[in-house]
Amino acid sequence: MSTFYPEKLSVEYMDGAGAAKAVIPRRYTLTHSDLTGELFLNIGRNYAWDKITSLRDEVLAEWKQHGNSFYFCVYLSIDQEPPNLSVSAKRNEIFRRELPLALTAIRYGDRLFFNTYPHLDQASIIIHFTSVYPQFARQENWGTFQIIII
């Protein structure tokens, strides 16, 4: 896993989102620069579709609610167009290796929100790996934000 450097994270609130706004809908779009290592986090009611490139290496996430409980859903697109098994295998490896960094960046970037709603640190993080290949298409529980509190 790469090291998280807070000074390399830029955060932009969109759609009237802010630190004390309601949980749902609250969506996150995390992108990055391979050249500089900078991370860009957009937080809003909608995803920042205009920030997504054809590489599809972004992390999309949102808060969901089931009854009185909240959980955090993350969506990763393993395949590129056209799908290629060896490329998907490498992307799967990279996403898995870098996902803790992405979750840390989201938690840190929206820390004022988490401070306002501290119970969300105990919410389950559910990762959706999307792929045409069954060995990569899966849903996994990656614990809670409590383990990565900055």
Span 25-84, pLDDT tens digits: 999 999 999 899 999 999 999 999 999 988 789 999 999 999 999 999 999 999 998 999
Identify whether 58 is part of a domain. Answer: yes
Identify whether 137 is part of a domain. Answer: yes
pLDDT at residue 147, as a whole number: 76
Long-range contacts of 28-31 (CB under 8 A, 24+ apart): 28/59, 28/60, 28/61, 28/62, 28/106, 28/110, 29/58, 29/59, 29/60, 30/58, 30/59, 30/60, 30/61, 30/102, 30/105, 30/106, 31/57, 31/58
Identify whether 113 is part of a domain. Answer: yes
Identify whether 1 is part of a domain. Answer: no
- In this model, does residue 150 exceed pLDDT 60? no
Domain extent for 44: 6-148
Number of domains in the chain: 1
- pLDDT tier, 16 (very low <50, low <70, confident <90, very high otherwise): confident
User: Average model confidence (pLDDT) for the chain?
Assistant: 93
Q: What is the pTM of this model?
A: 0.94
